[in-house]
Amino acid sequence: MKISRVEPMLFPWGSLYVRIWTDEGLYGLGECSPMGSRREILTCLEQLAPLLLGRDPRQRDPLLRGLLHRFLKLGDSGILPEALAGLDIALWDLLGKLSGQPLYVLLGGAYRTSFPLYASIGGGAGLTVAQMVERVESFRAQGFQAFKIRMDWGAHRRDADPEKDFAMFRACRQALGDAVPLSFDANNGYSVKTAIRQGRRMAELGLAHFEEPVAPYDYPGLRAVAEALDVPVSAGEHEYTAWRFRELIAEAQVPILQPDVVKCCGISEMRRIIALAEAHNLDLLPHQTQPQVGLAASLHLCATTPLAMPYHEYTGRQPRQEELFEEPLVPDANGVIHLPERPGLGLVLREEAVRRALAG
């Protein structure tokens, strides 16, 4: 069996999928993170494609690890790991289709196959307190039972308006009541001192987890915040390889790791990261903003480890992506997603819908 074609698909709304076809007419489907540099990732995929043609798609690690190390001087963060993530997910999906098994079976079996989602609601920096409360209420009306508000600063800013952030958190907490899990994502926007102050007063109101309080490269700062607070601090969405997670674990000592499967070289590397988390007895709370392919890959991985925290990230439905699939991943009326039993990721593209969307 040979790889006959690598087909990147950049949709008008920014999603970047990639299909790997075999000479027997089967395909596997993957996705690359569209956050930031999708055109550069597309170019990288186009440059890697000829190196995959004619190769056996079942020899995934020698093939893709080989590419990672061959081109490592391009960098072990960002574009190359994100391109490889799409290819790796596609080869796992293909393996599932070849074997007729859902991915979680190939990955070792499921501790659970249902995942309550937390609504991950962004844009805090540009919203008023009332607007954020309105967004939270609208997700609650859809059935979601856990929440996170994100500040999303855009350009790098630090300690821009902590009083407003706290007022926003307090108003959301009041709207939801005390029992509903509510987390806060500072999107790297605080100094260590401000992060500790914010974390303490949010904790008094009930804070499920405190995400990325300080700059992603400030491991000593993360450690200082994590040590000062009783609430768990999380980080990891800006790390792309297991060896970077090793450094994060050793130096930042945060109790929750947040790898993103469409960024960190894919399912194979995320398994290595989960193994590290397990060896250090840490919790897993993946970062994931892509509601179909990326989410499916992330949930199959979470199914196979007891480290995965109860709620998985979900940024909301995207009807244009749902239309691409025969049976898209959609949460039920209680904000829970049930993993499909179909082979691989469990997602089957509607060819006509894909053609239409790519042409649009």
Q: To the nearest whole angstrom, how small is the minimum distance from the Cβ of residue 260 to Ca ion?
A: 9
Question: For residue 19, what is the DSSP state?
Answer: E
Stretch in the footprint of Ca ion (CB under 5 A) among 10-18, 30-38, 97-105, 178-186: 178-186
Lookup: tokens for 314: 């979900």
* Type of residue at 84: L
Burial tier of 327 (Cβ tally within 10 Å: 0-12, 13-18, 19+): exposed
Q: To the nearest whole angstrom, how small is the minimum distance from the Cβ of residue 148 to Ca ion?
A: 8
Q: To the nearest whole angstrom, how small is the minimum distance from the Cβ of residue 198 to Ca ion?
A: 15
SS3 content of the chain, % helix, strand, coil (to 5): 45, 15, 40
- Backbone dihedral region for residue 253 (phi beyond 0: left; psi -120 to 50: alpha; all else: beta): left
* Per-position x/- string for 51-90, each x denoting binding to Ca ion as judged by CB under 5 A, each - no binding: ----------------------------------------
Stretch in the footprint of Ca ion (CB under 5 A) among 181-189, 197-205, 273-281, 331-339: 181-189
Lookup: tokens for 288: 């994931």
Strand partners, 121: 149
Residues numbered 217 to 276 that lie near Ca ion (CB under 5 A) are none
Give the nearer residue to Ca ion in terms of CB position, either 254 or 324: 254
Q: Are the CB atoms for 326 and 345 separated by under 8 Å?
A: no
Q: To the nearest whole angstrom, how small is the minimum distance from the Cβ of residue 47 to Ca ion?
A: 30
Give the nearer residue to Ca ion in terms of CB position, either 21 or 311: 311
Lookup: tokens for 280: 């250090």
Nearest to 231 by CA among 274, 199, 197, 276: 199
Q: What is the maximum alpha-carbon separation in the chain?
A: 60
* Type of residue at 329: L
Stretch in the footprint of Ca ion (CB under 5 A) among 1-9, 73-81, 180-188, 290-298: 180-188
Q: Does 313 bind Ca ion (CB under 5 A)?
A: no
How many CA within 13 A on the CB side of residue 124? 29
Give the nearer residue to Ca ion in terms of CB position, either 185 or 218: 185
Stretch in the footprint of Ca ion (CB under 5 A) among 75-83, 110-118, 165-173, 185-193: 185-193
Residue nearest to Ca ion (CB): 185
Q: Which residue shows structure tokens 């859809």?
A: 142
Give the nearer residue to Ca ion in terms of CB position, either 82 or 185: 185
Give the nearer residue to Ca ion in terms of CB position, either 19 or 287: 287
Q: To the nearest whole angstrom, how small is the minimum distance from the Cβ of residue 76 to Ca ion?
A: 21
Total binding residues for Ca ion by CB under 5 A? 1
Lookup: tokens for 51: 């190196």
Q: Does 185 bind Ca ion (CB under 5 A)?
A: yes
Residue 22, H or E segment: strand 16-22
Give the nearer residue to Ca ion in terms of CB position, either 81 or 346: 81
Q: Does 31 bind Ca ion (CB under 5 A)?
A: no
Stretch in the footprint of Ca ion (CB under 5 A) among 139-147, 177-185, 219-227, 295-303: 177-185
Give the residues lining the site for Ca ion (CB under 5 A): 185
